[in-house]
Structure 1
Amino acid sequence: MSKKTKAVKRGKASYFMSILGVTLVLFLLGVIGWLVINTRTLGEHFKEEVEVNVYLREPLAKSDSADLVNYIAAQPYIKEYIFTTKEMAKARYLADGNESWEGILTENPLPQSIDFKVKSEYLHPDTLLNIKQDLEKQTYVTEVKYPELLVGGLDSKIKVVNWVLVGLSLILLLAAIVLIDNTIRLAMFSNRFTIKTMQMVGATRWFITKPLDIRAIINGAISGAIAIIAVLLVIRAAKKMIPELSVIQNNTQLTFLFLGMMVLGILITLISTHTSALKYLKKKLDDLY
């Protein structure tokens, strides 16, 4: 087997290991990035599932209840609302597994209510307290209830989880950059004699580094594409196990994540390849051994 054939095989093997290493790192980074996006989106989803119950006085004319519904519906913090009649309240009460009072009471004791969910940006203890105080001033409102303990702890816990994941993502990003750089440098090590030989026969630095840079861009793009496909498969599997993930998925943020993975793979591969080639060009032949 000729030396040229051996060199070609070594080059292909080094490129393969480079693509594999970069792909694995980008895949890990992509999964963590997806978790960060989902945690933030999931937190917003949970916040917007908190329900506020506005209980109404009895008796109440339909025109008065309609005016109150219109007043609440016009507020900027409303995400969605429903007017719960006494019959609807009874059906919900029985659906929760409670026993019927028929035979004991002649009238339905459950009040009418306006139940609504608040937009996530308004779901703070102080804001909800102001909303409660405003609604309780309305003539036909007897009481306003919402899970105060849950609201007070939910916001702080979501912030803690978000900061922890963001910190973890930054650490993994730095680790990814170092790992990708080391992987590329190891791949370039097998080509050091080829680079030096081209320099010795009179080739310019641009002539030597140009094909290596092009190959680096291609390898980075291949690594990014494979990593994106792998992350998509993980997301698909996760959705099958947890169908609710489909509801909270943010396609815009996911697109930016994939673009970031692709750009990161190409950029770091290109920079590492170019700097490695320049390093071997500056060395003497004896220093390559």
Structure 2
Amino acid sequence: MSQFGKAASKRGKPSYFMSILGVTLVLFLLGIVGWITINSQKLIEYFKESVEVQVFLKPNIQDTARQSLQNYIAAQPYTKAVRYTDKESAKKEWMKTGGEDFTEFLDNALLPTSIDFTLKADFVDSVRLNQIKTTIGSNPNVDEVKYPTAVVGKMQRNFNLISLVLAGVAILIAVLVIVLIDNTIRLAMFSNRFIIKTMQMVGATRWFIAKPLNIRAIVNGAVSALIAIALVYGVITVAERFLPDLQALRDNGLLLLLFLALIIIGITITLFSTHRSVVKYLRMKLDELY
């Protein structure tokens, strides 16, 4: 029996090499798509969290009341960052946008003090922003609450469309990956069909025949995934070197999950396809193998 196992190993080496190469290329493609998807989601999150809400305060508000309101906003689950803008800061912000230096108006309400805050990405949509605006606007010390309504509306529609397109592409690539890996393994196992059938004819059990091939499939899947991970990481490193802004989008936690998913996918599909092929050839008659 051991001689048949050794013969199978020797004769299967070329096909195993091609299967490892094929699975590696497919997993590399999936890894690149996954990385692009992760970066796109992080970029969407960055743009959402750049939306600023301005809470304009009434004139002559007491400092204790202003601080109390600022602490209330900072404690809310939707707040990412908060800052107080006094009249002098408001003047500087006005002049940065190209406005004239209306120094004589500094004491009136043309440049009111405000509490400005940005929101966490999950809360940046028209419905939640309107609720936040209504809640904060009901405070007696608040004159007006503003946020870029048009920008938020367009952002919401465009980002929803982008998310749907990315999800569709990811699902399509995932299906193609499964099909391509399955076909690659089936072609690799095709060259071993006579060895499998010969072992069965001399009395080897199904488990005895399938076990070494299944173990080899697990090893091949893991090797393919590790090579694909190395290639994907190489692409990421080169891309971040030429585009330094990509470093700000990197999420090591999500990248680790992506790499773990590649290993699981590589091993699972390779093992499943190999075992299915073995069972298929064991059930076939000898004449059907030709």
Class of the TM-score when normalised by the shorter of the 2 chains: 0.7 to 0.9
Q: Across the two proteins, how many residue pairs are aligned to each other?
A: 282
Name structure 1 gaps, 5 residues minimum.
Answer: none
In 2, the alpha carbon distance for the partners of 1:270 and 1:218 equals 9
In 2, the alpha carbon distance for the partners of 1:135 and 1:46 equals 23
1:180 aligns with 2:193: no
Alpha-carbon deviations, 1:19-45, whole Å to 9, x = none? 011111111112222223333333223
SS at match of 1:169: helix
What residue identity is the alignment partner of 2:181? Answer: I
**Structure 1 204/66 Cα, relative in aligned 2: closer, same or farther at 3 Å?**
closer
1:75 aligns with 2:79: no
Which of 208-217 and 63-72 deviates more? 63-72
1:27 aligns with 2:25: no
Q: 1:49 maps to which residue?
A: 50
In 2, the alpha carbon distance for the partners of 1:229 and 1:72 equals 45
SS at match of 2:54: strand
What residue identity is the alignment partner of 2:187? Answer: L
**Structure 1 277/110 Cα, relative in aligned 2: closer, same or farther at 3 Å?**
same
1:124 aligns with 2:129: no
Which of 229-238 and 105-114 deviates more? 105-114
Q: 2:202 maps to which residue?
A: 201
Q: 2:221 maps to which residue?
A: 220
SS at match of 2:203: coil
In 2, the alpha carbon distance for the partners of 1:136 and 1:272 equals 61
Alignment of 1:51-66 (within 5 A): 51-66=52-67
Q: 1:170 maps to which residue?
A: 171
**Structure 1 58/197 Cα, relative in aligned 2: closer, same or farther at 3 Å?**
same
**Structure 1 74/220 Cα, relative in aligned 2: closer, same or farther at 3 Å?**
closer
Alpha-carbon deviations, 1:204-234, whole Å to 9, x = none? 2222221111111100000111111222222
What residue identity is the alignment partner of 1:68? Answer: L
Q: CA deviation at 1:146?
A: 0.9
What residue identity is the alignment partner of 1:188? Answer: M
SS at match of 2:104: coil
Alpha-carbon deviations, 1:21-73, whole Å to 9, x = none? 11111111122222233333332232121001122233444334323323333
Identity percentage of aligned residues: 51
SS at match of 1:266: helix
- RMSD over aligned CA atoms reads 2.5
Q: CA deviation at 1:6?
A: 10
1:152 aligns with 2:150: no
Q: CA deviation at 1:18?
A: 0.1
SS at match of 1:49: coil
What residue identity is the alignment partner of 1:159? Answer: N
1:38 aligns with 2:36: no
In 2, the alpha carbon distance for the partners of 1:243 and 1:111 equals 38
In 1, the alpha carbon distance for the partners of 2:8 and 2:125 equals 65
What residue identity is the alignment partner of 2:104? Answer: T
What residue identity is the alignment partner of 2:49? Answer: E
Which of 208-217 and 148-157 deviates more? 148-157
* TM-score where L is the length of structure 2: 0.86
In 2, the alpha carbon distance for the partners of 1:240 and 1:189 equals 44
SS at match of 1:134: helix
Q: CA deviation at 1:192?
A: 1.8
SS at match of 1:158: helix
SS at match of 1:142: strand
SS at match of 1:117: strand
Name structure 2 gaps, 5 residues minimum.
Answer: 1-5
In 2, the alpha carbon distance for the partners of 1:271 and 1:286 equals 25
Q: 1:106 maps to which residue?
A: 104
**Structure 1 208/92 Cα, relative in aligned 2: closer, same or farther at 3 Å?**
same
* TM-score where L is the length of structure 1: 0.86
In 2, the alpha carbon distance for the partners of 1:149 and 1:92 equals 21
Q: 1:240 maps to which residue?
A: 241
